[in-house]
Chains A and B, each alone.
Chain A
Amino acid sequence: MSDYVPIYKKIIHANDVLVERSLPNEGSLRVKAGDIVEAFTEIGSSKYALNNFLVDPLFSAQLFPGKTFARGETIGRFRGKSVDAPFNGVLEKQGDAFVLVSQKETFVLLSGVWGEVVDVAENLSALIKTHTTNIHMLASTENSVEGELVVFPNPSSEMQMQYLKKYHKNVYKKILYVGDYFQEDLLEKAIELEVSGILAGSADRELFSIAKKADIFLGLFSGFGQLSTPKDVFSTLTNVSNRYVFVRGIEGLLRIPMPEAFDDPEVRSSTVKTNLKLLKKGVRVVVFSEDHFGWVGFIEKASKDSIVVKFEKNDTSVEVPLPNIWALV
């Protein structure tokens, strides 16, 4: 029998993380290499049209550059149906096509992170060295989003919808942590409100196809089904509600910028740590079995014949076969 199991890092504190902050188009940057920035430091701005609408060349309409449309006004007809302007805008000729462009507004780029500017792409972007707490999601869509994190206070699934409707009317482009588990109706509502992403402990597998279709980010900390969010993940999230965060779907990571660098020698060390950990009493583990998938606990007993894990969630002790245990660090 193996005495060692692989380690799984759920929450990683990292120094010297590079984050690129970009303007949507060319504008002006107010920082240079060496500048120290905070999350609310304005690092640049540009004039930017938030909305563009490609007008199909097959439209039956009298179109010319500079023609303006109010929201709801008919642009023309296409296959027998009238097509209305989705926003106030003006027509621009771009190549052979007409594009309805909304009024350009000033886009202000905030740093979003604490750290030092290490490089800039002139009038376009800044590369900032910062410190982040990264939380790993077991399953997520592959898109990447960023925005303000709104943490629901781990409500029951009945409360989630009320919370979304009543208390968070302004959730446009925000990232919501909604609780241990959520259902399709909440996802549909979030899509309607143009939320950027939803984080939760778990959800049904089918919601991923809906999320992908709507291009909304979906990230699960524990897995599929009805599983709880680990306690330490939830407490980390509650401490950073309303912070600007970054989600990298392809790596399954939620990156939370932190104001101070971590002083822990484990974080500062650049040497590679071993990937295995000795199983012994007191080691914190995560269990992957049918009934306790993603549950976190401590080794209560580890002998040649039996491994018993005491779960943090309900203080119960369960015997778990070895391959279903990973050391949590």
Chain B
Amino acid sequence: MSVLSAHIGSKQVTFLAPGLPKKGYEIFRFPFLYNPVLQVHFTDRKTFYTDVFRYAIKKLGLSVQDCDILICSDLEPVELDLDIKVSTPASALLADLLDFNVMYVNSTTSITPSRMSKEDILAFLANLALVPNMIVEKAKFKMYHDFVRFGSLDKAYELDPKLPILFCGDRFSSEYVKDTDMFQSLLTHIRTPGVFSVLVDMNGSYLPSLMLKKYRPEVYESLLSPDVIPTILGTVVRVDSAVECLFSTDSGTSQFFEVPRNNLFFVPLEGGSKAHISVKSSSLGQYEGTVGGGKLGFVVDTRSIDSNDPGIEEENIISYENIERQIGEALAVL
């Protein structure tokens, strides 16, 4: 009997099919959800998801008659005209992750004043509410898209500096969002001063793999693969003041640098590499320790932590584009 583990998020459905003959497993992301605004007049949620699961099963080379379906979902449980072996809320799986600061980013919530035309903002947000899985492309709207997300987390989200941060949720795992855009959003969500090791579930397979771990451990054991464990991004020093840093690698190279307030600074540090850092800032005090590298390397982020500060004004849009460019350059180096 084959297994299909699926996560129904807020923007997409992610399928993980282990035990396939060629690659051993396959991940497939279907970037749509049932949308009552567009569909309630001719189809229902159950029929829609049954069609989506039938399509995924066929695409992944499985058989409807010979497939155990495991589902976790962000919102209410999904019903299918197919046999479901396990259905559980995503929150129940996340609650088991005690070794991480879990940042699960999905929802859109608040609205804040800006210099953009009120009609433009309201129309954009209202249209986004009509079609929530819409991918946002323009910088001025991306600012808003991310800013609205802060409302759900806000600065009240206190991170434990002793634990790594694990980012997951559809905001970070869409195949249609550029890495630079995703990392920009991710960095801006870290709002507690500290030095953090950061990981991200870039393809949405982490929750489906946790389903396997919990309900089909024998299948999970055979699955272990880099694609279904979160990507290590590296280390982020998060402060909202100027920083002095001495950065030394195992190979013996050292560099001293100062990062002024309201800046992002990237130092290339490959995954698997270590560096010793000595950091001094007014908001963090003195910090010394060994940190690891990753896809983004070593990052010092001195932007304001105040949730009202990122704003959506013209100068911040320029800044947003600069940050995306900086991240793009950092990714190109590693």
Contacts and interface: CB of A to CB of B under 8 A. Distances in A.
Interface of A: 1-6, 8-9, 12, 134, 136, 138-139, 204-206, 223-226, 251-253, 272, 274-276, 288-291, 293, 321-324, 326
B122 A323 contact: no
A12 B131 contact: no
Interface in B115-135: 119-120, 122-124, 126-127, 130-131, 133-135
Per CB-CB distance, the 7 closest pairs between chain A and chain B, nearest first, are A225-B123, A323-B31, A224-B126, A224-B123, A288-B131, A205-B122, A275-B51
B256 interface: no
B55 A324 contact: no
Contacts of A322: 31, 176
A272 B47 contact: yes
Interface string B139-177: 001000000000000000000000000000000001110
Contacts of B123: 204-205, 223-226
B140 to A, nearest CB: 9
B39 A8 contact: yes
Contact of B51 (A136, A206, A226, A274): A274
Given A274-B51, A290-B136, A322-B176, A139 B126 contact: yes
Contacts of B124: 225, 290
Given A205-B123, A274-B51, A323 B133 contact: yes
B322 interface: no
A99 B131 CA distance: 48
A6 B133 CA distance: 12
A182 to B, nearest CB: 13
Interface of B: 11-12, 28-32, 35, 37-43, 47-48, 51-52, 55, 59, 119-120, 122-124, 126-127, 130-131, 133-138, 141, 174-176
B127 A223 contact: yes
A139 B176 contact: no
A312 to B, nearest CB: 19
Given A138-B38, A206-B122, A321-B137, A288 B51 contact: no
Contacts of A5: 32
Contacts of B131: 288, 293, 324
Contact of B55 (A4, A139, A251): A4
A290 B28 CA distance: 26
15 contacts: A2-B31, A12-B42, A136-B41, A138-B130, A139-B37, A139-B130, A205-B126, A223-B126, A224-B126, A225-B120, A251-B41, A253-B41, A275-B51, A321-B137, A326-B32
Nearest to B33: A6
A309 to B, nearest CB: 14
Contacts of A274: 51
Interface centre among B39, B126, B174 (most CB of A within 10 A): B126
- Chain A binding surface, main DSSP class: loop
A6 B39 contact: yes
B42 A9 contact: yes
B41 A6 contact: no
B133 A252 contact: no
A294 B141 CA distance: 17
Contact of A289 (B41, B119, B137): B137
A137 to B, nearest CB: 10
A285 B51 CA distance: 19
A253 B37 CA distance: 11
B59 to A, nearest CB: 8
A213 to B, nearest CB: 17
Nearest to A274: B51
Contacts of A206: 119, 122
A49 B233 CA distance: 73
Contacts of A6: 32, 35, 38-39, 48
B38 A204 contact: no
A29 to B, nearest CB: 31
Question: Which of B39, B123, B138 has most A Cβ within 10 Å?
Answer: B123
Contacts of A252: 37, 40-41
Contacts of A136: 38, 41
B127 A225 contact: yes
A321 B130 CA distance: 17
Given A272-B47, A323-B31, A204 B119 contact: yes
Contacts of B120: 225
B138 A291 contact: yes
B55 to A, nearest CB: 6
Given A6-B39, A224-B127, A288-B127, A323 B47 contact: no
A134 B138 CA distance: 34
A217 B163 CA distance: 54
A223 B48 CA distance: 23
A205 B128 CA distance: 12
Contacts of A321: 135, 137, 176
B82 to A, nearest CB: 14
A324 B135 contact: yes
Contacts of B133: 323
Nearest to A2: B30
Contacts of A4: 55
A277 to B, nearest CB: 10
A225 B141 CA distance: 14
Contacts of B32: 2, 5-6, 323, 326
A206 B35 CA distance: 23
A108 to B, nearest CB: 32
A323 B41 contact: no
B42 A138 contact: no
A1 B47 CA distance: 22
Contacts of A204: 119, 122-123
A9 to B, nearest CB: 5
A1 B41 contact: no
Contacts of B41: 9, 12, 134, 136, 251-253
